[in-house]
Structure 1
Amino acid sequence: MIELRNLRKTYGHGPRAVRALDDVSISVPAGEIFGVVGRSGAGKSTLLRTVNVLERPDSGTVTLDGTLMTGLEGGALRQARRSVGMVFQHFNLLANRSIQQNVEFALEAARVPRGKRASQAAEMLDLVGLKDRGGAYPAQLSGGQKQRVGIARALAAKPRVLLSDEATSALDPETTESILDLIRSINRELKLTVLLITHEMDVVKRICDSAALMENGAIVEQGELVEVIRTPGSKLAAQLFPLAAPADDEGPTVIDITFAGGTADRPVIARLAREHELDVSILGATVERIAGTQAGRTRLALPVAGEAAAAVVADLRRQGLIVEYLKGGAA
């Protein structure tokens, strides 16, 4: 559905030039929620704006559902953009228009006939849970309600792709959860393809099927979340399951065990202590449900080193677990 190939974008010239996109390639299948995560300045917003060619890349191609967006200009590009809805961080609602009129404004811009605008806007407000607030004005709504209006507006012209630009970063945690649940619900109900950018790992964990980690304008890692979690040395997996660094006095060997899917419900630590006759210390653990799969990471201190520790690690790996040394061994 979304194919970004070898995108490059540089702002400025000479020694002060900033490379916002550095040979970026991403593929998002139809109906998937794909998250791009990274710190501020990583290039996420520039990347998102290339999808509907609000930002034209210096080189590379953008293809949406078989349409080469970067090959279009003028009226043809404006027409193609109607298949893409966008949700913004700060809502961008028109204060002097009612909620119904804000949604209708998007339909006006998409050149939907006047006679159809009211019914389509009402349908979208119903979809986002604001059926009875069409006559209200933005100042009368909470932040979460304003974002729901933003989502209704983005969906009003019935796009095939929804772009989300840090849509929850201005919201409190409880409201964030409700908006993310709404995006997931819409994704399933309307079969929408969703590309979102965020700096919050909780957003990725809650609704994304796949994700990419972006640093300094480049994609350093990407893939389906479950596969990323199962990849040894994954920077994205480490950020999904953050644990504090081990102290020097926590035993001769410290390991991280990462699990996903069928390995998540095994009594791994109890079996380890029993079969290897070890007093294992749990230094930290986190368990989440990600992309429909139970996954997590556990950090253990082993009271042995060398060959004895290597035997424990080999046993764990034979069980299909991802094991990495943090102290006292070699991976």
Structure 2
Amino acid sequence: MPRRAATPRASSDPRRTGVIDLVEVSKTFRTPGGEVHALDHVSLHVEPGEIFGIVGQSGAGKSTLIRTVNALEQPDSGTVTVAGATISELRGKELREARRRAGMIFQHFNLLSSRTALGNVELTLEIAGTGRGARRRRAQEILDLVGLADRADAYPAQLSGGQKQRVGIARALADNPRVLLSDEATSALDPETTRSVLDLIRRLSRELGLTVLLITHEMDVIKRICDSAALMEHGRIIENGAMEQLITTPGSRLAAALFELGELPPDRGHRIVDITFTKQTSSEPVIAKLARDQGIDVAILGAAIETIHGGTQTGRTRLEIPGSADEVERALTYLREQGLFVEVVR
């Protein structure tokens, strides 16, 4: 059966606008070895208040994409709109003003070793021209928001990796941006610290109404906090959609990466299907009922259960279903009638 990738959600329809919109964006770098197409007609739409993750291997184009969103790179073609400003068309003062609408956090923190945590957060406001008293009050307020009020006078060398990243987040949020951009912000952290930083980003997104665009190569990041996700390869968006859409789309490579079920066994002439449980069906003994009600000896070849999208429990199970064509079709119909999403893989 042909495998269909998730339908891209991005649209070039000018009537459809989000907080972040990329329409047919391309960027090529010229190197001694030839041209590198870092972005190849990329379109992307991020809704207000959404946490959107872009996942892909090194060289996929993720970093170039996020650098076009904060205007550190100008696209060769296409448009980039952030918080209502088409930044790909702005220059000078207008561009600097537009950049203030997006805060940025980095993998290696980028803190100034000569400044305290408070001083690092103040830096953003200092550059923006905020008065000393106002920027001190705002920096203290935002450090408290990220849980570091008691470390305001500590220097980066006195902070743990997780605390440094919290300072980086506070600095990114100091000037009240509408968008938070994350460039592999947790890849230098241990798993426990990563979880705490991701939970902080989700909480801040909800409390402050932030739209978050993050890039990563870690599927754990995607499943822990993202509302939507996109897979990038060779400068292109391969698939793109809300998490609920992706996990129930036949052939979705993102869903397959979220629910790793291993290799297919040798062909024994039986039908093999993947069934996806959503929060409505994850607690039902559907497979046991299938075996009992249909009289079929179903073999379970693999299973995975993940908690995604802010606490939604979702699972995928791979079944081998023996029997005649009619028996197998009855079994598939039964599974679908239970509210499961069924994909025939062989």
Shorter-chain TM-score tier:
over 0.9
Q: Residue 27 of structure 1 aligns to which amino acid in structure 2? A: H
> Hey, what does 2:335 align to over in structure 1?
316
Q: Does 1:116 align with 2:138?
A: no
Partner of 1:303: 322
1:127 maps to amino acid = L
Q: Which residue of 1 aligns with 2:205?
A: 187
Q: Distance in 2 between matches of 1:320 and 1:302?
A: 18
1:253 pairs with 2:275: no
Q: Cα distance 1:114–1:122, how it changes in 2: closer, same or farther (>3 A)?
A: same
**1:84-119 CA distance string (max 9 Å, x none):** 100000001111111111111111112212221111
Q: Deviation string for 1:12-52 (max 9, x for gaps)? A: 17971010101111111111100011111100010001112
Confirm whether residue 233 of structure 1 aligns to residue 251 of structure 2: yes
Q: Residue 62 in 1 paired to residue 53 in 2?
A: no
- The alpha-carbon deviation at position 77 of structure 1 amounts to 0.4
Shift of 1:326: 3.0
Is 1:280 equivalent to 2:295 in the alignment? Answer: no
Q: Identify the match of residue 96 of structure 2 among 78, 82, 106.
A: 78
2:190 matched to 1:155?
Answer: no
Question: Is the Cα–Cα contact under 8 Å of residues 226 and 290 in structure 1 kept in the other structure?
Answer: no
1:172 maps to: 190
- Of 214, 217, 229, which residue of structure 2 is paired with 1:199? 217
CA contact (8 A) 2:286 2:338 kept: no
Q: Residue by residue, what CA displacement relative to the aligned partner does 1:163-214 show, whole Å, maximum 9, x if unpaired?
A: 0000000000000000000000100110000000011111111101011111
Specify which of 144, 151, 163 is matched with residue 145 of structure 1.
Answer: 163
Q: Distance in 2 between matches of 1:251 and 1:286?
A: 24
Q: Partner letter of residue 188 of structure 2?
A: A
Partners of 1:262 and 1:247 lie apart in 2 by 30
One-letter code aligned to 2:342: V
Moved more, 41-50 or 292-301: 292-301
Give every structure 1 segment of 4 or more consecutive aligned residues whose post-TM-superposition deviation is greater than 3 Å.
Answer: none
Q: State the alpha-carbon separation in 2 of the partners of residues 314 and 109 from structure 1.
A: 63
Number of the residue aligned with 1:270? 288
> How many Å apart are 1:285 and its aligned residue?
1.1
CA contact under 8 A between 2:83 and 2:179: conserved in structure 1? Answer: no
2:23 partner letter: R
Q: Tell me the alpha carbon deviations over residues 225-260 of structure 1, each in whole angstroms, 9 at most, x when there is no partner.
A: 001111111111111111111321777332211122
The secondary structure found in structure 2 opposite 1:153 is: helix
Counterpart amino acid of residue 7 in structure 1: V
| Separation of aligned partners in 2, 1:207 and 1:116 | 33
Normalised by the length of structure 1, the TM-score is: 0.95
How far residue 288 of structure 1 moved from its aligned partner, in angstroms, is 1.8
8 Å contact kept, 1:226–1:293 = no
Structure 1 residues 132 and 15: alpha-carbon distance in aligned structure 2, compared to 1, 3 A threshold: closer
Structure 1: gaps spanning 5 or more residues? none
Structure 2 SS opposite 1:262: coil
Q: Secondary structure at the match of 2:80?
A: strand
AA matched with 1:183: I
Look up the SS of the partner of 2:151 in the other structure: coil
Structure 2 SS opposite 1:310: helix
> 1 CA distance for matches of 2:115 and 2:41?
42
What amino acid maps onto 1:33 in structure 2?
I
For the 8 Å contact 1:263–1:321, the answer to whether it is kept is yes
Conservation of the 8 A alpha-carbon contact between 2:83 and 2:101: no
Q: Look up the equivalent residue of 2:300 and give its one-letter code.
A: I
8 Å Cα contact 1:251-1:302 kept in structure 2 = no
- For structure 2, which runs of at least 5 residues remain unmatched after alignment? 1-18
- In 2, distance between residues paired with 1:52 and 1:246? 43
